[in-house]
Amino acid sequence: MAEPRRKPLVSGNWKMHMTHLEAINLIQKLSYSLEAADPSYVDLSVHPPFTALRSVQTVLDADDMPMSLGAQNVHWEDKGAFTGEISPTMLAKLNVSYVIVGHSERRQLFGETDEMVAKKVAAVFAARMTPIMCVGETLDEREAGATEERVVGQLRAGTAALNPEQMAALVVAYEPIWAIGTGRNATPDDAQAVCNALRAAVLADHGEAAGARLRIQYGGSVKAANAAELLAQPDIDGALVGGASLDPGELAQIVHLARN
């Protein structure tokens, strides 16, 4: 049976950068830099900080820009006494399509556990958005030969409660922690091996259709200069781009490369 074609997803994670005014400027430049045919072949999402979501949404809608709105985090409850948190419904009302969940910076700096990640993934689906669930190993884990065990463990912990339809719709981002913001990326072969192991786990746990449809992004120092080789790997279906996504020309270039 031929594998269904998976449309690549390139996502720009702006992290804690861009005021709402800078954000508008960035998406306008990004929109000019895209080619007309890009959206037919590649999905693109931008993930501004919460404070810029409304402004970016208004401009995307008004100018019918060919990219989806994304968020960087969410709480799993729908409302309540959770000072400083944002609910899935609040994001869905802003036409947010994709929500990054369990980024390694959230796990390492803000104490997010696998249990919290699982609740967030389920809550994002319940609000009819798509989670981009991040997994990744530390340098110590990689050097100890524990990479696959670590990332497959995170994947299983975050998705155990999902049904096959949700599993097929999920986006997983493999982001080796030692490659984030360091200028050091996994080799295409190493990244492919890990993404293949992630897909094999989904095939085994959730069936062939879910495994074949699941999109897996690579993230960690992706830029125009290294994106082509990474995106050419059979189990890599896009990129989660941090630093380089703050440069609209660079992000557009990565989208062009994902087309091929």
Q: What is the contact surface with ligand 13P in residues (CB under 6 A)? A: 13, 103, 175, 180-181, 219-222, 240-244
Q: Write the CB contacts of 109 (distance below 8 Å, at least 6 apart in sequence).
A: none
Q: Closest-CB residue for ligand 13P?
A: 242
| Shortest Å distance, C-beta 221 to ligand 13P | 4
| Shortest Å distance, C-beta 113 to ligand 13P | 19
Q: Write the CB contacts of 46 (distance below 8 Å, at least 6 apart in sequence).
A: 11, 12, 14, 26, 27, 30, 56, 67, 68, 69, 70, 245
Catalytic residue among 47, 103, 206, 256: 103
**In the complex with ligand 13P, which residue's Cβ is closer, 210 or 255?**
255
| Shortest Å distance, C-beta 2 to ligand 13P | 32
Which class for 148: exposed (0-12), middle (13-18), buried (19 or more C-beta within 10 A)? middle
103 is annotated as an active-site residue: yes
Determine the Cα–Cα distance for residues 219 and 190; give it in Å rounded to an integer.
Answer: 13
Catalytic residue among 105, 141, 175, 250: 175
| Shortest Å distance, C-beta 239 to ligand 13P | 8
175 is annotated as an active-site residue: yes
**In the complex with ligand 13P, which residue's Cβ is closer, 88 or 220?**
220
**In the complex with ligand 13P, which residue's Cβ is closer, 11 or 206?**
11
Q: Indicate the helix (H) or strand (E) that contains 195.
A: helix 188-206
**In the complex with ligand 13P, which residue's Cβ is closer, 162 or 180?**
180
| Shortest Å distance, C-beta 12 to ligand 13P | 9
**In the complex with ligand 13P, which residue's Cβ is closer, 205 or 229?**
229
CA distances from 233 to 56, 67, 166, 212 (A): 32, 24, 24, 15
Residues annotated as part of the active site: 103, 175
